[in-house]
Structure formats: structure tokens, C-alpha cells
Amino acid sequence: MKILSGNSNPELAGAIAAYLDLELTKASVRRFADEEIFVEIHENVRGEDVFVVQPTSAPANDNLMELLICIDALRRASARRITAVIPYFGYARQDRKSGSRTPISAKLVANLITVAGAHRVLSVDLHAGQIQGFFDIPTDNLFAATVMSADIEARLGKEAAITVVSPDVGGVVRARALAKRLGNAPLAIVDKRREKPGESEVMNIIGDVRGRTCVLVDDIVDSAGTLCNAAAALAEAGATAVTAYVTHGVLSGGAVARVESSALTELVITDTIAPLEAVRNASRIRIMTIAPLFAEAMRRTSEESSVSSLFD
């Protein structure tokens, strides 16, 4: 097997390769003066099982084009199988028509990746499970809950009074999965609603969190507004501490400053997206690597063995 990295998150690709005791495939992924992307692979990949590691995070369009051109270059170089490893799948939040005459961009991106020549896709914590069905090629959606649960137990201890909290009704399935891994920990839900246009959201806590260490779990943190408001509501409801575990740390705009001044004790994100300098320097944000999970899934894919058994 060979691993090719784009420019989106070379650190993660390097960590995956190091875990598998491999060298990254020698290639140039560069831009011409007019910003056109050019890819050249500097070693033989004919008949090889190649994994292209490229999150399509910001700048999403540039990173997506890099991925497509890398796949095309490998296909034309006669790679036997090309797996698009997309730790963070951009456009995932556009998974349905949100109104009249609006696109389903996640489906369009899936079509682009398939037509470019990918044989399968590997991602983690897709924003919506149905995105797997957008692809006409095999798609493995890994779960970061295994990495999160191990970290929570190591940090807080197995006997800690933990309550897993979903920041909205839509994330209950994800929160329940993590709670099950933590020995069937109690579950709570933050219900939010806006009484009138222009008024702030009212947060209601479904479940008892008084005297508990609350662990908020979500797949994406972007502006961090919902997460910080949920943390404040939990603190008001009597939670002793509030920690958040989120797979994809988009953290755009003033999100870092918002987290730093919030009721959150700590925000833990994975390295699916290359962190900005502000994220690295934040005192309340910790980055947890997900490279071993991807490396094991890639090894099993290459060996044609079970990937799902990683989560048993």
C-alpha cells in the first residue's frame, strides 16, 4: 500500500504513515501563477493500493480540487485501487434541500469524487449518515467515539460521575453511542428554541446534570455558539464541570475567543482538520490525534479484513 498526501493536512498523513511504518509517496502538489493546481507523482504506483489523505476543510474548494486531481493522476498512473481518505468531508452539512431551489451539494461532491476515479472512500463521523448512500462506491464511516471514550476514561477515571450530553436533539444517536462506551453513562439533551425572531435562544436541559461532570459531544464545532451556550446552560443547571469532545474543529471566525471565554472547562478536538495557530495556542482547546484509527482502518482495507470490528 502507498499513502499520498495533499496540502490540506500533511501532519495527519505523516502520522498515519509513521504508524504504519511507511514513507509518504513522493509527489508534487503545487500551483501555477494563476492558482491552477498541478499534481505530479514521482514514483511508480502501477498496480498499487493507494490511499489519498486529504480533508476538504477550508479552503474547501481548493482542497477538494486537489483531491480530485490527485485521484485523476493516480488513475492515469494505473494504480490498482484508489481510496479517498477524507477525514473531514466538506459540504457535508448540505446533505438535503433546505428550501426551494437549493442544491444538495454533498451529493454533488460525492459524484465528483466517484467520477474522478476513486474506488472507495474512508471518512470519520460524517455529519449525516445518509451521505454514505450518496456514493456509488464502497464508503466506510469511522467513529471517533472509540478514541474519545478512551481519552475520557484516562482523564476523568472510570468511576467519575459522568453524564454525556447532546447539544441538540439531532445529535442524540451520537451521544448515546458514546454513553454506551462509557459503561452506559446517563444521557442528557440540550433543547433549544427561539421564542421570537431577534431574541436569544432559550436552553432547556432534558435530564439531571446537577453535581455531574458533563461531557458534550458533537461532530462539528464551527462558530462554537451552540456549544458555548449549552455549556452555560449546563453550568446554570448545576453541572460541576463541562467538557466538550468534538470530532471536527472547524472553529471559524471568533470561535476560539468564544471558547476561551465560555463556561467550558476544555474543548477536545481531533486533528481531522489541520489546526490554526490560534487553536494550537488556546488554553482551553486540546487536540487529540485520530491517526491510529485511520491507520488501522487503512491497514484492514488493504488486507481485505474487517473494518467494523474496530468498533466492537
Consult the annotation and say whether 150 binds a ligand. no
Consult the annotation and say whether 171 binds a ligand. no
Consult the annotation and say whether 194 binds a ligand. yes
Consult the annotation and say whether 93 binds a ligand. yes
Consult the annotation and say whether 191 binds a ligand. no
Consult the annotation and say whether 72 binds a ligand. no
Consult the annotation and say whether 226 binds a ligand. yes
- One DSSP character per residue, the chain reads -EEEE-SS-HHHHHHHHHHTT-PBPPEEEEE-TT--EEEEE-S--TT-EEEEE----SSHHHHHHHHHHHHHHHHHTT-SEEEEEESS-TTTT--S--STT---HHHHHHHHHHHHT-SEEEEES-SSGGGGGG-SS-EEEE-THHHHHHHHHHHH-TTS-EEEEESSGGGHHHHHHHHHHTTS--EEEEEEEESSTTSPEEEEEES--TT-EEEEEEEEESS-HHHHHHHHHHHHTT-SEEEEEEEEE---TTHHHHHHTSS-SEEEEEBTSPPPHHHHH-TTEEEE--HHHHHHHHHHHHTT--SGGGG-
Consult the annotation and say whether 151 binds a ligand. no
Active-site annotation holder among 2, 107, 192, 196: 192
Consult the annotation and say whether 201 binds a ligand. no
Q: Is 97 a catalytic residue?
A: no
Consult the annotation and say whether 136 binds a ligand. no
- Output the known binding site for ATP: 34-36, 93-94
Q: Which residues are catalytic?
A: 192
- Output the known binding site: 34-36, 93-94, 127, 168, 194, 218, 222-226
- Output the known binding site for D-ribose 5-phosphate: 194, 218, 222-226
- Output the known binding site for Mg(2+): 127, 168
